[in-house]
Structures are given as C-alpha cells and as structure tokens.
Amino acid sequence: MSKSKLTGKQIRAIGYEEGPVVSVAMHTMCTHFKHATEEEALTILKDILAAPENYLADEVLSKIAEKLMAVEEAEAIEIPLNENSVAYNVFGAKHIDEGALAQMRIAAKLPVAIAGALMPDAHQGYGLPIGGVLATDNAIIPYAVGVDAECA
C-alpha cells in the first residue's frame, strides 16, 4: 500500500483553521498513519477536531489535540480594532484590487499601527496586502509579510 500524504488544503477543508495545527496534523498523520488511506486519516482528524479533549491522553494524537485546545484558549482573548484608521498613503489606487484595499483598511485600525502605505502593485495577501507596508509601535506581526514568490 502506498504512503498516505495529506495536504494542508485537505486538512483545512475539513474544518481546521490555518496555523501550526495544520502542519502538526500533516506530520502526525504522515508519520504515524502512513499506511492509512486518506479517507481514514481525514476521519481521524475530523474526530479530533470535534472533541480534542478526548485525545489529550493519546500518545500520538495528543499533539494535534493540544494545538486545537491552545487555539480555543487563544480565541477567548479579543482585542478590538480602533474605530479610526491611522494615516496611510495609497500610490496608484486605480491599479489596486479591492481585496488589498480592504486588508489595508483593517490593518490600519490595529491598535499597534502607526502608519502605512500601499504600492501601485499591491494585491491581497494573508494578513497585509502584498505591496503593503505597516509601521507598528513596539510590535512585530508575522502575518504582515508577503509570501508571494513573484514579489520576493
């Protein structure tokens, strides 16, 4: 039987949120359940997602359950966005897609934001638009970087 290799896209499609839990789930399933079919592996992951507390004592699957539990705890803390945006420049606005503009409007309301800019080639990214710049006060935002290979 061939090795089962799940993708992050498959794991997110069954309800896992983007983040470290996806890579932990991929690694765990490909390492410890490599002879299971993709369907069997996805069923196990669905069961863990539905009730992670039931898997905390499992030697192998507890790593996934712990990541899911940590996400649930982190979600309990909500820091509201500012009502007003910080000032930011938009260069070449007619060339920038609406997704990038919307992301920048939200980013400019972050409590740590102090200034920003969008370049004419800006387009939607993960946290901040690719081609967007956000200056912050005493903060680093890992998702506020581009991952577009063409823009590296």
Q: What is the DSSP string of 34-53?
A: TTS-HHHHHHHHHHHHH-GG
Question: Is the separation of the CB atoms in 4 and 38 below 8 Å?
Answer: yes
Q: Are residues 69 and 96 in the same domain?
A: no
Summarised one tens digit per residue, pLDDT across range 25-67 is 999 998 999 889 999 999 999 999 999 999 999 999 999 999 9
Residue 82 included in any domain: no
In the chain, % of residues over pLDDT 90: 64
Q: Is 59 part of any domain?
A: yes
Average pLDDT of the residues in 123-138: 89
Model confidence at 1: pLDDT above 60: no
Q: 146 and 92, same structural domain?
A: yes
Residue 64 shares a structural domain with residue 105: no
The structure's pTM equals 0.49
- pLDDT confidence bin for 152, thresholds 50/70/90: very low
What domain count does the chain have? Answer: 2
In a domain, 81, yes or no: no
